[in-house]
């Protein structure tokens, strides 16, 4: 057993941290206030490969796999959750769906410009009546000759307003439901019939753009079917598995940054004639936070290693998402407590971190769904089917 990172990952982490500290941290507050991640920052990152971390170099990616991608999400998660939400929707689910199930021609046409950051991706699964229950998708795709016509709408789509290419999930056969009836399509947002609807006014991750997408008799050529007709649900699940690992990594970064900030404050803050770091109440909070972070770190990178080495990792991915998001919320909450009133100030980064952390318990499959996935996989091992 060897738990050390290969030297290329150590060097990669150094670069990610430097970029995050120099280019993103100074903007994090503005990103939150002005509700946008500056295009120039993304472009600067794209120049050094940040928008294609896990993809092979032959598609213009960095070739760093899920492990490298998790390292980036952790390092950027330390400074700005809005930024990792944008990058995560682009790499982790939008482009990832094309990488996992696209044909060679689709990868050359779509993945390459996405990995180089020339184009931005989004992933459109959620609908007003279909979130965790993906089988209730209403968006219809009707075949006419060698084309499909899409009608319907999607909501809460990260990168919706800025995406050039969207992986869209639509019903091709209503009689078959989620398994067999849903197909994935690669949609270019400049096609006729594609519209961006209302923007969400969110509590946190305010810099990431989230919107409704509307398809009005949108023609998609048959060659843009992603994966096989009727197997879109499987494409979605495979993609989300990888997204959940990196989501856990982003939470890890947020929790780690909160711990470091709380310790710096505990060292600086004097009460009753001594630094509050000397108080046992503070020490216990710090110790508890650190334990949870360490457990999460092991879980995230072990799961990333499983994914990179071709092992099944679906259950662990659900754990990364579930545990990661709850660790982030819990530890950032405690870290805010250590900061006292200062942490409640709109001007302090921990206030933003606290708001930003909450969404991770909800999106990319609620934590309730993750628990269901984990439990059903566990029961399956003893021959019990518990999934409805």
Partner 1 sequence: MKIVVAMKQVLDPRGFTVNRKAEKIFVNREEWITNPADLCALEAALALKDKLGAEVVVLSGGPARAGDALRDAWARGADRAIHLSDKAFSTADGCVAARILAKAIDKVGAVDLVVCGDRALDTGAGEVGPRLAEALGWPQVLGALDVSVQDGHAHAVKPDGAGYAELEVGLPALVTLAAGANQPRYPHGGRIMESYRQYQPEAWTAPDLGLSEDELKPLVDQRGQSFPPERQRGTLLDSPEELVRLLKRNRVI
- 105 to 134, contacts with partner 1 by CB under 8 A? none
Which of 38, 63, 161, 197 is in the footprint of partner 1 by CB under 8 A?
63
Which of 12, 184, 335, 350 is in the footprint of partner 1 by CB under 8 A?
12
Question: What's the CA gap between 364 and 246, in Å, rounded?
Answer: 11
* 15 part of the interface to partner 1, by CB under 8 A: yes
Altogether, the residues listed in the chain come to a count of 388
Q: Which residues of 332-344 are buried (b: 16+ CB within 10 A; e: fewer)?
A: bbbbbebbeeebe
* 18 part of the interface to partner 1, by CB under 8 A: yes
The region of 12-20, 188-196, 282-290, 348-356 touching partner 1 under the rule CB under 8 A is 12-20
Q: Which residues of 33-66 are buried (b: 16+ CB within 10 A; e: fewer)?
A: eebbbbeebbebbbeebbbbbbbbeebbbbbbbb
Nearest distance from C-beta of residue 259 to partner 1, angstroms:
16
Which of 27, 68, 93, 335 is in the footprint of partner 1 by CB under 8 A?
68
Is 364 a known active-site residue? yes
Burial group, residue 146, by CB count within 10 angstroms (0-12, 13-18, 19+): exposed
* 156 part of the interface to partner 1, by CB under 8 A: no
Q: Which is nearer to partner 1, 48 or 384 (CB)?
A: 48
Residue in 66, 212, 351, 364 annotated catalytic: 364
Q: Where are the beta strands (DSSP E) in the chain?
A: 121-124, 140-144, 147-158, 165-171, 182-188, 194-199, 210-221, 225-226, 270-271, 274-275
* 8 part of the interface to partner 1, by CB under 8 A: yes
Other C-beta atoms lying within 10 Å of the C-beta of residue 27: 19
162 in Cβ contact with 209 (< 8 Å): yes
- 19 to 48, contacts with partner 1 by CB under 8 A? 19, 47-48
Cross-strand pairs, 221: 147
* 53 part of the interface to partner 1, by CB under 8 A: yes
Nearest distance from C-beta of residue 61 to partner 1, angstroms:
7
Nearest distance from C-beta of residue 47 to partner 1, angstroms:
8
# residues near partner 1 by CB under 8 A: 19
Per CB under 8 A, residues contacting partner 1 are: 6-8, 11-12, 15, 18-19, 47-50, 53, 57, 61-64, 68
Which residues are known catalytic residues? 364
């Amino acid at each position: 057993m060897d738990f050390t990172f290969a030297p290329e990952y150590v060097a990669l982490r150094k670069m990610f941290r430097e970029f995050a500290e120099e280019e993103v941290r100074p903007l994090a507050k503005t990103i939150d206030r002005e509700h946008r991640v500056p295009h120039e920052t993304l472009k600067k990152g794209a120049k050094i490969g940040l928008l294609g971390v896990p993809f092979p170099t032959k598609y213009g990616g960095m070739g760093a796999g899920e492990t490298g991608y998790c390292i980036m999400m952790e390092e950027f998660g330390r400074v700005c959750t809005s930024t990792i939400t944008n990058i995560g929707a682009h790499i982790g689910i939008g482009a990832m769906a094309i990488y996992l199930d696209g044909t060679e021609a689709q990868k050359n046409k779509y993945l390459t410009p996405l990995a180089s950051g020339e184009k931005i991706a989004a992933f459109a699964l959620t609908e007003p009546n279909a979130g965790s229950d993906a089988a209730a998708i209403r968006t219809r795709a009707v075949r006419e000759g060698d084309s499909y016509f899409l009608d319907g709408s999607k909501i809460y789509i990260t990168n919706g307003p800025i995406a050039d290419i969207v992986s869209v999930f639509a019903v091709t056969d209503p009689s078959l439901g989620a398994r067999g009836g849903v197909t994935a399509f690669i949609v270019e947002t400049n096609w006729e019939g594609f519209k961006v609807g209302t923007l969400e006014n969110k509590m946190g991750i305010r810099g990431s753009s989230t919107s409704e997408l509307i398809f009005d008799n949108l023609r998609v050529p048959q060659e843009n079917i992603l994966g096989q007709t009727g197997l879109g649900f499987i494409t979605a699940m495979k993609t989300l598995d990888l997204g959940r690992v990196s989501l856990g990594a982003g939470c890890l970064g947020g929790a780690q940054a909160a711990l470091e900030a709380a310790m710096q404050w505990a060292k600086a803050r004097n009460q009753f004639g001594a630094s509050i770091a000397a108080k046992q109440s503070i020490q216990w909070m710090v110790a508890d936070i650190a334990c949870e972070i360490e457990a999460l770190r092991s879980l995230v990178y072990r799961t990333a290693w499983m994914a990179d080495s071709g092992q099944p990792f679906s259950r662990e991915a659900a754990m990364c998402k579930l545990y990661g998001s709850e660790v982030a919320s819990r530890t950032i909450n405690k870290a805010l407590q250590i900061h006292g009133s200062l942490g409640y100030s709109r001007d302090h980064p921990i206030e933003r971190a606290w708001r930003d952390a909450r969404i991770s318990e909800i999106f990319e499959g609620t934590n309730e769904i993750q628990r269901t996935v984990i439990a059903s996989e566990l029961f399956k091992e003893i021959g019990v089917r518990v999934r409805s």
